[in-house]
Copies of this chain bind each other. A is one copy, B any other.
Amino acid sequence: MKIRVRRKSPQAYQHGDLREALIQAGLKLLTEGGVETLSLRAAAQLAGVSHAAPYRHFRDKNALVAAIAERGFRLLTAAMQAEAALAKPRDSRERLTALGIGYLHFATQNPGYLRVIFGGVLCGDDPPADLRAAGEAAYGTLREAIVDGIAQGELRTADPDQLALASWSMVHGLSTLLINRAFEPQVAERELATGVLHLLGDGIYAERGRP
C-alpha cells in the first residue's frame, strides 16, 4: 500500500520544509512566468503561507533567488552531461561540442534559469557556498573534458583554464545573444553550436596550409 502524500494544505509546511516549498514555488514561477514573475510574495502565496513567512528561511529575496540559481546551475550541468552521454562522443572534441550543445539547448529551453544565474546573484558580497559549489561543478565538467583532450593530444597544450574560459565564453555568449534575440539565427540550434565551436577549434585566422 502506498503512503498518501499530503497535498499543500495549510499545515503541510510546518515541519521545516517551507524553505524547500518556497524554492519549488519560485521554480514554478520562474519557468512558467519568467524572471519578472518571480517574487517573494507570489512564492509565499503559492506555498500557502503569509508574505512575511519566507523571512524565517531566507534573509531577503536575493537569498531565495540564489537558492533557485543553484538548482538552475545543477540542471545546466546535468543537461550538458546528458547531451554528452547521448552523443556518444568518439573523442574529446566531440565531447566538448556535445557539452556546448547541451549548454545552448538548456539555455534556449530555460531562459529564465540563465537570467537568474547570470543576472547578478553572483555579484553580492558573499554568494552562498551552495551556489558557488554548483558553479564549480558546472565548470568542472567542462574543465575535465578539456584536460582530457590535452592529455589525448587532441587539444592544444595550453593552460586548461585558459581553454575552458574561451570555450565557456563562446558558448555562453552565443546562448545569451540567442536568448535575447540579438541576432536572427539562420540555422538550427545544433548547427549554431557546432559552427562556432569548430571555428574555435580550428581558429579564425588564415594561413598554415588551409584549402
Are B156 and A204 in contact (CB-based, < 8 A)?
A: yes
Are B155 and A165 in contact (CB-based, < 8 A)?
A: no
Considering the chains assembled together, what is the distance between the CA atoms of A170 and B202 in angstroms? Answer: 15
Known: A118-B182, A182-B118. A93 touches B162 (CB 8 A): no
Among the listed B153, B200, B206, which residue makes an inter-chain contact with A200, where contact means beta carbons less than 8 Å apart? B200
A165 contacts across to B, CB distance below 8 A: 174, 177, 183, 195-196
Considering the chains assembled together, what is the distance between the CA atoms of A129 and B175 in angstroms? Answer: 24
Flag whether A203 is at the interface (Cβ < 8 A).
Answer: yes
A119 contacts across to B, CB distance below 8 A: 115, 180
Interface residue ranges of A174-204 to B (CB < 8 Å): 174-177, 180-183, 186, 195-196, 199-204
The 6 listed contacts between A and B (C-beta, < 8 Å) are: A157-B206, A166-B170, A166-B199, A166-B200, A167-B204, A200-B204
Q: Return the 6 tightest CB-CB contacts between A and B, nearest first.
A: A173-B173, A203-B203, A169-B173, A169-B174, A172-B173, A201-B205
